Amino acid sequence: MPHSLPETRHVFVYGTLRRGGRNDIAHFFPAPRFVAHARIHGTMYDLGSYPGALLGGSGLLVGEVYAVTPMLEAQLDRLEEVRDDDGGEYIKREKAVRVGAKEIICVVYEVHPERVAGCSVIASGDWFDRAPPFS
Q: What mean pLDDT is predicted for residues 23-28?
A: 97
* Average confidence score pLDDT of the chain: 92
Report d(CA 67, CA 88) in Å as an integer: 24
pLDDT for residue 89 is more than 90 = yes
What confidence score (pLDDT) does residue 9 get? 96
Structural element, H or E, at residue 77: helix 70-79
Report d(CA 38, CA 54) in Å as an integer: 16
Q: What is the pTM of this model?
A: 0.91
The total of other beta-carbon atoms located within 10 Å of residue 2's CB is 4
Report d(CA 120, CA 135) in Å as an integer: 17
What percentage of residues in the chain have a pLDDT greater than 90? 88
Report d(CA 59, CA 7) in Å as an integer: 32
The one-letter amino acid at 107? V
Report d(CA 8, CA 104) in Å as an integer: 12
What confidence score (pLDDT) does residue 130 get? 80
Residue 65: is it exposed, middle or buried by C-beta count within 10 angstroms (0-12/13-18/19+)? Answer: buried
What confidence score (pLDDT) does residue 84 get? 92
Per-residue pLDDT tens for 56-81?
Answer: 999 999 999 999 999 999 999 999 99
Strand 90-99 versus strand 102-111 pairing type: antiparallel
The pLDDT confidence band at residue 38, using thresholds 50, 70 and 90, is very high
Task: List 12's β-bridge partners, or say none.
Answer: 65, 108
What confidence score (pLDDT) does residue 5 get? 54
Q: What mean pLDDT is predicted for residues 102-112?
A: 97
What percentage of residues in the chain have a pLDDT greater than 70? 92
